[in-house]
Structure 1
């Protein structure tokens, strides 16, 4: 790297860092800081009220913002306060997300609507019958249909809405002496503490509620000083048990800093810079793009560090975390290969995929739940969790990077088939990534078998997750061996890297959202849209078919190639 290129790299890195720091107000506490950092014991851990508000509104509504029937759009904290203090008629507000169209058709709900009121859903007898059938099937150990699983999800949202309305149940009062003890609400606190210590806190809480009842959302800033008094009083009750202020502020910072969203913006800018460096020769922005991409990777790593500090474990235990981790793996592997080869194509293939992963994780909270929850018992062995799951996810990242390179290769066959030099280079780059992916997936499967032996008493049991991981491995081993013995060439490797990724998609997405069975139940979810995934896969296969038709049409490139084509 020359001194001028080093300067461009540093400028790109500094620009990316500065973009993450804007606006500076995100690092400054506001009038509601004491309210945001009010500790709550909920869902098996202690967390700030800001997180409780974000998770509650997201899980009920499917978004961090809410547009009420009357008034302007609200952020999650304002919406949660109206729930907590019951300052709105939540029986009538269309706040509950119902997105699965077959379920809406089955129970007679308007398929064009996405949100319904508590009263509408509770009065729906067909939905109640479906929920009852789902519980009966679950008790018998029968597999649930997709409609039944979605109905249980709606029931969970209704229960969360019902439990959030009113201020008598939120456990904000710490246990007097036991760090693992159960916290209680203010109305129950006199069972643990002297009534004289609780009465002033009840008075402050009542004043907060009265303030919001009188002024609604416009009076939310006025609750800040009252929340400061409430929090100080709760800390004095049990200072040894109350969470450290630094830990609470760290989680609030993570909620508001949005490191993963900032990362995909930087990856997108790096992609634009790489495209310019390839097609506008006087504008050589390559090393600036490397700097921006590195900044994006750094901010995503910072986000992972924050999440690990909050959760106390590696962030790879649910679909949301795995999608973000795969995006990180794509970026890290691409940057490593790019610095080794200076080929430019790694970043060109990786940036859109990393952006897609992070955008999906950021925009689909109802499908990819970002909540941090305690681990199920089988996952509490952090040693195996720390090596098996990240290894499998990194193999998926390798195959995703190969998917991107495969699209570049087939795109050249389709648009510029005479550029045999460029096609050969892309195929060689792709072959290296596929080798890394196969090595990682093989290692991950073996590590998973060892973990299964210790956890379940057997190395292999043909669980759906295990089976599809093996199928994915075989789908990549076949073309690699075919390339080794000369059965397939550059075009075959490009096709294989695109088509074989469908096996990864099934092992990663399909087992969790479509099959929903097996011992890996801690990874399951609901809300995935099979039709959208099927449409994307169909379009992708159509693209492969078009490239194949062009390649096998009988046309052959001329022997004389321009330097640009080579």
Structure 2
């Protein structure tokens, strides 16, 4: 019966992933999606270009017009590309860093501004200072880095609107040769061949102008243009299966489906607890496994598209950590049947994937060529996944620690539930220590081959070591009897702050060191600091409550003095 309920939950999860219900709409690809473009160092379908361009500029794949009509990324991109709307005055460009908005004299609560508004602000003065510092190799302030990011968005929008140079035309002979735009086809091909391509593109443009925002009407002219482009250089033009795979990945959106399945599984597991239903527990387990499989399928597709492990930027590491949390918790749960692992893991996996899904301007999901130091697929495949899996272990331990501390609020002495959670927690921390130690050693070996030294006290290396020590100390203290179960739970929560600094802080706050390929802007340090502060206050309050209860229990009772009757 349990196996049947497990399979039922798994089938439910997989059915939800492919059933055409609202955002679960199954993917379809047409020539509009799969026109090949050589951009940012690789060949990719136009659908990917559209999504990357729109999310980079706007911070979202959707935009609502003043009329109330909502456009998706392909519709927005085609409108920008073929210049069918006055985008200069549309509040389309994302500016989410409040100090920069204050310097530019913009409303602090507004997130999107028009191109003309930003160009007419004093952004140029800030950019001039930033470029001067760059030439002099001086460190930039956070405001200047955010201004440069905004400049990139404005330049991207300027390059996209009415662009005649989008490289759609393949090189005739060299697979690494530079592609050209439609208007420059004659640079690579005879005039009669160029004229045919240009005529077909003009027909496509006319069809779009006649049926604005209705991309379905472009399917036939786009297919003719795509076939002609492929016929120009059959050996160079990407295979249709390759283009369709990436378009499928974009439309299927597996990581977005995975966090929804983790959320459903969590609700099913919560429901099984108060009514003591073991069948519902196994249904939740099956649904949770469905989320893991959908996410693993997404990783497989992304690896095929990129040709490398998907762990080379913050977006991929956040998604990978969410996957690691879910997979480790499921393995521990199968071994122990403790239930607590999935209670702790499901919300954390949902948070990781939801952040990656909803913050494309901060966690850039685009697939780009690797910097030289990362091009060794062997070391990349073993060092980075090992390090990030250790982060997943410590995140799971942090979740278990919170569950245990909540138990101490309900029962000041902790009770059997808190003791069981502490034992589970210690096991997860030990796994995390093993993974992080291995990852640091592998990183040192890689650094020896890439940079000529094993260890250099780079900020990323230093904080990885600090995080390791923050977990080694309580584990040794526990084994030596210096730290009890309550202390281990506190350490698992507070220790994750060191992991957060090594993972997020070095990339988004410090922004220095040899690991510069992982740096970014747009992360809200104030928000993260606020959340860490609130969590630390919760831990402090729990410690005070626990200490108070321990003091009361240790205080000797004072016997009553009885007096005899005279």
Q: Same fold (TM over 0.5)?
A: yes
Task: Work out whether 1:299 is the aligned partner of 2:298.
Answer: no
Could you say which residue in structure 2 is the equivalent of 1:145? 141
Contact 1:417-1:557 within 8 A present in 2 as well: no
Could you say which residue in structure 2 is the equivalent of 1:21? 18
Instruction: Summarize deviations over 1:249-291 as a string: whole Å, max 9, x none.
Output: 0000100101111111111111112222222114641111111
Could you say which residue in structure 1 is the equivalent of 2:557? none
Instruction: Summarize deviations over 1:490-549 as a string: whole Å, max 9, x none.
Output: 110010000010000000000000010100000001100011111111111111112112
Distance in 2 between residues matched to 1:282 and 1:462, nearest whole Å: 52
2:257 corresponds to which of 241, 259, 262: 262
* Alpha-carbon RMSD: 1.5
Task: Work out whether 1:348 is the aligned partner of 2:363.
Answer: no
Task: Work out whether 1:184 is the aligned partner of 2:180.
Answer: yes
Instruction: Summarize deviations over 1:167-217 as a string: whole Å, max 9, x none.
Output: 411000000011111100011110110111121221221122223334422
CA offset at residue 21 of structure 1? 1.0
Contact 1:276-1:283 within 8 A present in 2 as well: no
3-state secondary structure, aligned to 1:314? coil
- Closer, same or farther in 2 for the Cα pair 1:99/1:28, shift >3 Å? closer
Runs of 4+ in structure 1 off by over 4 angstroms are 24-28, 555-558
CA offset at residue 68 of structure 1? 2.6
Distance in 1 between residues matched to 2:326 and 2:535, nearest whole Å: 22
Task: Work out whether 1:478 is the aligned partner of 2:496.
Answer: no
3-state secondary structure, aligned to 1:41? strand
1:47-66 to 2 correspondence within 5 Å? 47-66=44-63
Q: Matched residue pairs, number?
A: 551
1:29-40 to 2 correspondence within 5 Å? 29=28, 33-40=30-37
Distance in 1 between residues matched to 2:108 and 2:519, nearest whole Å: 25
Could you say which residue in structure 2 is the equivalent of 1:323? 318
Could you say which residue in structure 1 is the equivalent of 2:195? 199
Could you say which residue in structure 1 is the equivalent of 2:70? 73
Distance in 2 between residues matched to 1:191 and 1:20, nearest whole Å: 46
Distance in 1 between residues matched to 2:215 and 2:447, nearest whole Å: 51
3-state secondary structure, aligned to 2:64? coil
Could you say which residue in structure 1 is the equivalent of 2:458? 463
CA offset at residue 29 of structure 1? 3.3
1:418-437 to 2 correspondence within 5 Å? 418=413, 420-437=415-432
1:84 corresponds to which of 81, 86, 92: 81
Instruction: Summarize deviations over 1:428-462 as a string: whole Å, max 9, x none.
Output: 00000000001111111111111111101111111
List runs of 5+ in structure 1 lacking aligned partners: 559-566
Contact 1:85-1:166 within 8 A present in 2 as well: yes
Instruction: Summarize deviations over 1:93-137 as a string: whole Å, max 9, x none.
Output: 11111000011111212212111111111122x211111111111
Could you say which residue in structure 2 is the equivalent of 1:135? 131
Could you say which residue in structure 1 is the equivalent of 2:2? 5
Contact 1:472-1:504 within 8 A present in 2 as well: yes
Task: Work out whether 1:155 is the aligned partner of 2:154.
Answer: no
1:416 corresponds to which of 411, 414, 419: 411
TM-score (norm 1): 0.95
